[in-house]
C-alpha cells in the first residue's frame, strides 16, 4: 500500500467507497471485503481512521496548528487534525519500537498452570516465592544490587546464576503493557504453547491458584495453539529452562509467518481526505508538504522534521500514517492539480463499472430494463461530446430496484448533472438521452422541446431582430419507454 494515494474519477464511481475500503485494508492489515462498513465504523471510533474534506477556505491553522483564544482570554496553540493524527501514529510507532519479546517457561508438561492462565487471562511465575515487597527488605535488595542496570541484567546466563531476584525484576519492572510473551515449558523447549500480550501491571496475589505461583501479569492471549519454535524463530528451540525469562529480538523472528504478523503488527493510522483537489495545497500544508514523502517519514533513513511556527516544536510525519484522498475529475483534471501534490501521491483511477448493475424486470411482459447497457450508452455519448472525466458513475443507479427507481434517478440526479456538465446546452443533452418529444402529452421521452418564434412572446418592435429558438423542458413523470428511447440496446 502506498503511503499517499488518491482515488480519482467521475462522480458516482465509488471513490469514497474505494478509499474507505483501502483504509480498512491498511489498518486491519488484511484485505477488506465488500461489506467492510462495520470495521470502518470501528476504526473511526478508535481514531485509527479519520476523515476530513478539503475546501477552498481550509487553512494551515485549521489543518496543522494555529493560535486560538482560550477561555481565560489568553492565546494558546491549538492542534489541527493532521497534527493530532500524526502524533497518535507516532505514539503507536514508538510503542512498537519499544515492544519487548519475552520467552517465559511456565511449568512442565502436564502442569495446569498454563490452563489456569488461559482461563483467567494471566501469566504467573514462581520466581522468588515470597512477596517482593518483603523481599525488598531481605534477599531482593541484596540480589537486585547485583543486577541494577540493563547491562548487568543482559549478562545473566545459565553459567552466571546468583539467585532468582533478577528474573523477578524483569517480570515485575522491565516487562511493560504491550510486550509480547512466548510461553514454553521446561520439558519442550522447541515448542511455543501460547503467545500473549501484556495488558496489566505486576500483581502479587497471595491467595491465588498455587502457593508457589504468586507473581502475576494480566494478558490478552493472541495465540493458543502449539507451534514449533523453528516455524517462527531463527532457532530450533528457546534457551534452557534456567533462563526462564529471556528477551528475544524482533529481527530473529520470521516476519512472513502469519503468527508473527498477527502478534506483532505496527499499529497504522489513515487520514482520508475527501475532495482533496478542492483545497489550496500550498495554503493547507505549507512547509510540511515535503514531510509526507515516504522517504522523509519518521522511522526512515532520511527522516525529516521541521519546527512548527506557532508552537516552535519539532514535527515529523511517522511512517505508519497513510493518506488517502478522493478527487472528482468533473471538478478538476489531474493535469490542473498542484504540482507539489501530484509528485507526492500515486493515483488510482476509478471509472464507471456498468457490470455492477443489474437488469430491472418489467411487469407488462416487455423485456427488462438493461441498466448496464443504458449506462454504457450514455457514457459513450458523453465521452464523444465532452470527455471521459465527465461520465456518469454506476453509483447513481446502484440502488435502483424498480422502473420507478430508475426514472427517479434520471429525473432527480442524472439529468441535473448533465445540465451542469453541458451548461444548459439542451441540444447535447437531447443527443445523450435519445431525443425529445414535441408533444406535451408524450411521456415516452425525458425531454420536451418546441420552437418558439419571436411573435409569440415579443411585440412588433423587436420581431425582426430575433430568430426562432428551440426551447426545452423536462418531461414531468416520464414513463419506462423513455429508457428504451435512449437506444443502442434492446430489451430482448
For the domain spanning 4-95+267-349, the CATH number is 3.40.50
**What pLDDT score does 214 carry?**
72
The answer, yes or no, to whether residue 307 has pLDDT greater than 70, is yes
pLDDT, greater one: 263 or 139: 263
Average pLDDT of the chain is 83
Among 258-272, 404-418, 439-453, where is mean pLDDT lowest?
258-272
The proportion of the chain whose per-residue pLDDT surpasses 70, expressed as a percent, equals: 83
Output the nine-digit C-alpha cell for 75: 492565546
pLDDT band at 313 (very low <50, low <70, confident <90, very high): very high
Phi, psi of 322 (to 5 degrees): -115, 145
The answer, yes or no, to whether residue 50 has pLDDT greater than 80, is yes
Residue ranges covered by each domain of the chain: 4-95+267-349, 101-263, 354-485
pLDDT band at 160 (very low <50, low <70, confident <90, very high): very low
Give the SS3 label for residue 66. Answer: strand
Asked if the domains 4-95+267-349 and 101-263 are classified in one and the same CATH topology, the answer is no
151 CB-near residues (< 8 Å, 6+ apart): none
Among 147-151, 173-177, 397-401, where is mean pLDDT lowest?
147-151
**What pLDDT score does 317 carry?**
96
Q: What is the mean pLDDT of residues 34-63?
A: 91
Any bridge partners for residue 17, and if so which? none
Q: What is the pLDDT of residues 366-396, one digit of tens each?
A: 778 999 999 999 999 999 999 999 999 999 9
pLDDT band at 287 (very low <50, low <70, confident <90, very high): confident
How many CA atoms are closer than 13 Å to the CA of 23, on its beta-carbon side? 32
Most confident listed range (138-142, 237-241, 253-257, 375-379): 375-379
- Rounded to a whole number of angstroms, the CA Rg of the chain reads 33
H-state helical runs in 15-170:
15-28, 37-46, 60-63, 81-97, 113-120, 132-135, 139-146, 150-154, 165-169
This model's pTM is above 0.85 = no
Any bridge partners for residue 328, and if so which? 9
**What pLDDT score does 356 carry?**
94
**What pLDDT score does 151 carry?**
53
Q: Which residue in the block uniquely carries the three cell numbers 523481599?
A: 135
For the domain spanning 101-263, the CATH number is 3.10.590
The answer, yes or no, to whether residue 489 has pLDDT greater than 60, is no
pLDDT band at 133 (very low <50, low <70, confident <90, very high): very low
The answer, yes or no, to whether residue 438 has pLDDT greater than 50, is yes
Q: Which residue in the block uniquely carries the three cell numbers 426551447?
A: 471
Q: What is the mean pLDDT of residues 94-119?
A: 79
**What pLDDT score does 396 carry?**
96
Alpha carbons 240 and 246: distance in angstroms, whole number? 10
The answer, yes or no, to whether residue 165 has pLDDT greater than 70, is no
**What pLDDT score does 229 carry?**
85
Amino acid at each position: 500500500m502506498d503511503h499517499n494515494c488518491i482515488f480519482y474519477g467521475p462522480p458516482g464511481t465509488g471513490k469514497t467507497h474505494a478509499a474507505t475500503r483501502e483504509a480498512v485494508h491498511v489498518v486491519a492489515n488484511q484485505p477488506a471485503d465488500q461489506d467492510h462498513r462495520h470495521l470502518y465504523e470501528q476504526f473511526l471510533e478508535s481514531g485509527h481512521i479519520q476523515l476530513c474534506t478539503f475546501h477552498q477556505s481550509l487553512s494551515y491553522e485549521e489543518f496543522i496548528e494555529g493560535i486560538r483564544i482560550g477561555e481565560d482570554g489568553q492565546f494558546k496553540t491549538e492542534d489541527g487534525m493532521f497534527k493530532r493524527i500524526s502524533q497518535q501514529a507516532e505514539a503507536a510507532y514508538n510503542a512498537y519500537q519499544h515492544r519487548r519479546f519475552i520467552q517465559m517457561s511456565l511449568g512442565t508438561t502436564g502442569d495446569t498452570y498454563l490452563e489456569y492462565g488461559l482461563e483467567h487471562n494471566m501469566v504467573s511465575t514462581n520466581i522468588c516465592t515470597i512477596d517482593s515487597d518483603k523481599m525488598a527488605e531481605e534477599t531482593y535488595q541484596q540480589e537486585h544490587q547485583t543486577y541494577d542496570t540493563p547491562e548487568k541484567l543482559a549478562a545473566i546466563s545459565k553459567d552466571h546464576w546468583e539467585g532468582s531476584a533478577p528474573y523477578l525484576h524483569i517480570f515485575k519492572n522491565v516487562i511493560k503493557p504491550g510486550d509480547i510473551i512466548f510461553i514454553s515449558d521446561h520439558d519442550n523447549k522447541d515448542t511455543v504453547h501460547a503467545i500473549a500480550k501484556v495488558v496489566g501491571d505486576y500483581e502479587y496475589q497471595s491467595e491465588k491458584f498455587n502457593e508457589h505461583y504468586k507473581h502475576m501479569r494480566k494478558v490478552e492471549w493472541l495465540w493458543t495453539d502449539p507451534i514449533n519454535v523453528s516455524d517462527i524463530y531463527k532457532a530450533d528451540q528457546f534457551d534452557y529452562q534456567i533462563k526462564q525469562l529471556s528477551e528475544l529480538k524482533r529481527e530473529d523472528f520470521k516476519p512472513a509467518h502469519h503468527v508473527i504478523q498477527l502478534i506483532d503488527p505496527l499499529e497504522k493510522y489513515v487520514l482520508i481526505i475527501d475532495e482533496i483537489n478542492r483545497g489550496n495545497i500550498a495554503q493547507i500544508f505549507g512547509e510540511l508538504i515535503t514531510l509526507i514523502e515516504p522517504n522523509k517519514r519518521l522511522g526512515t533513513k532520511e527522516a525529516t522534521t521541521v519546527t512548527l511556527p506557532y508552537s516552535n516544536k519539532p514535527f515529523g510525519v511517522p511512517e505508519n500514517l497513510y493518506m488517502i484522498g478522493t478527487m472528482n475529475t468533473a471538478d478538476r483534471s489531474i493535469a490542473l492539480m498542484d504540482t507539489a501534490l501530484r509528485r507526492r501521491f500515486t493515483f488510482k483511477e476509478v471509472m464507471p463499472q456498468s457490470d455492477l448493475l443489474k437488469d430491472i424486470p418489467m411487469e407488462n411482459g416487455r423485456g427488462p430494463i438493461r441498466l448496464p447497457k443504458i449506462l454504457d450508452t450514455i457514457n459513450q455519448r458523453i465521452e464523444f461530446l465532452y470527455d471521459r472525466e465527465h461520465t456518469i458513475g454506476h453509483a447513481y443507479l446502484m440502488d435502483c430496484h424498480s422502473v420507478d427507481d430508475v426514472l427517479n434517478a434520471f429525473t432527480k440526479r442524472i439529468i441535473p448533472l448533465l445540465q451542469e456538465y453541458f451548461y444548459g446546452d439542451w441540444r447535447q443533452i437531447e443527443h445523450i438521452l435519445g431525443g425529445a418529444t414535441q408533444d406535451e402529452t408524450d411521456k415516452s421521452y425525458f425531454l420536451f422541446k418546441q420552437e418558439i418564434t419571436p411573435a409569440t412572446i415579443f411585440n412588433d418592435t423587436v420581431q425582426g431582430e430575433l430568430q426562432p429558438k428551440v426551447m426545452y423542458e423536462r418531461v414531468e413523470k416520464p414513463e419506462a419507454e423513455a429508457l428504451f428511447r435512449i437506444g443502442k440496446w434492446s430489451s430482448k
